[in-house]
Structure 1
Amino acid sequence: MTPTPASGTPLDAEALRALAARADTRQPCPACDSLRCPGWESLPSTFDTGVLEGVGTLRTADPDIEPTLDEWHPAGTHGWSPDAPIAPAFHPYNRCTVWRCRHCARLYLRYTEYGGYYQDERVRQVDPARVDATAA
């Protein structure tokens, strides 16, 4: 199960974009470089998650609102596309926690995919240019 960031602070698309823009992406970061994932990937079991600190969530703060399972792909992308928009109001983003590398401030989204016989923790690096505020 994806750990919940200690802050649990709900973030909207603009806050997510601003946090991602602060990252130092000029050079590879030895701490998190193995997570360079423009699209969703399984979190490597060998990755030291202690490198990341929780900074918030894209889940709604209202417990009475059930997150949609609808996805947002206006340009014909799909869930695994590296160029798919990061749309916080849509699945799977609306179920994500937000994490930052303690060394370079790169931002990552994490969520757990539950299947019939498995759980897969997934991760995606946040590219501020891909953050889409549609329906936010």
Structure 2
Amino acid sequence: MGFYILLLILAMGMLSRSKLVMLTASILLIFRILHLQRFFKFLSNNGINMGLLLLVMTVLIPFATDQVTLKDLKDTMTSFSGIIAILGGLLATKLNGMGLNLLKVEPQLVIGMVVGSIIGIIFWGGVPVGPLMAGGLTALFIKILGLL
């Protein structure tokens, strides 16, 4: 059944023109076809951390290449938009943590998040940043609806 779900995700990635979704589904399909499922456990255990490592490295490159100065940093940290950015970062990390916990408890929700992400790409011009934020928002929505 998982093979067909990956095919469906591949098709949805093609429909949404999301190279990332297409590449990911294709790699996992190839792993299944070549019976390389032993890598699934490794990816399951380490993939998020590896992806986050690359993402954080990418974000920090302007510091490593001296594109951001101490003055830029000070100006940003003391501006209204800089303070809002700090609050956004705080909220995002909290939601991402909630999303990670939700995905550990209910991994089947990933399908809904992928479908929602693909719909967002197709109709809203969205960018598939990752399942953690989608999981965080899902966890937040579940909590809010649980209070009603």
Calculate the TM-score normalised by the size of structure 2: 0.23
- Greater strand percent: which structure? 1
- Greater helix percent: which structure? 2
Greater RCO (Cα-Cα under 8 Å, separation 6 or more): 1
Calculate the TM-score normalised by the size of structure 1: 0.25
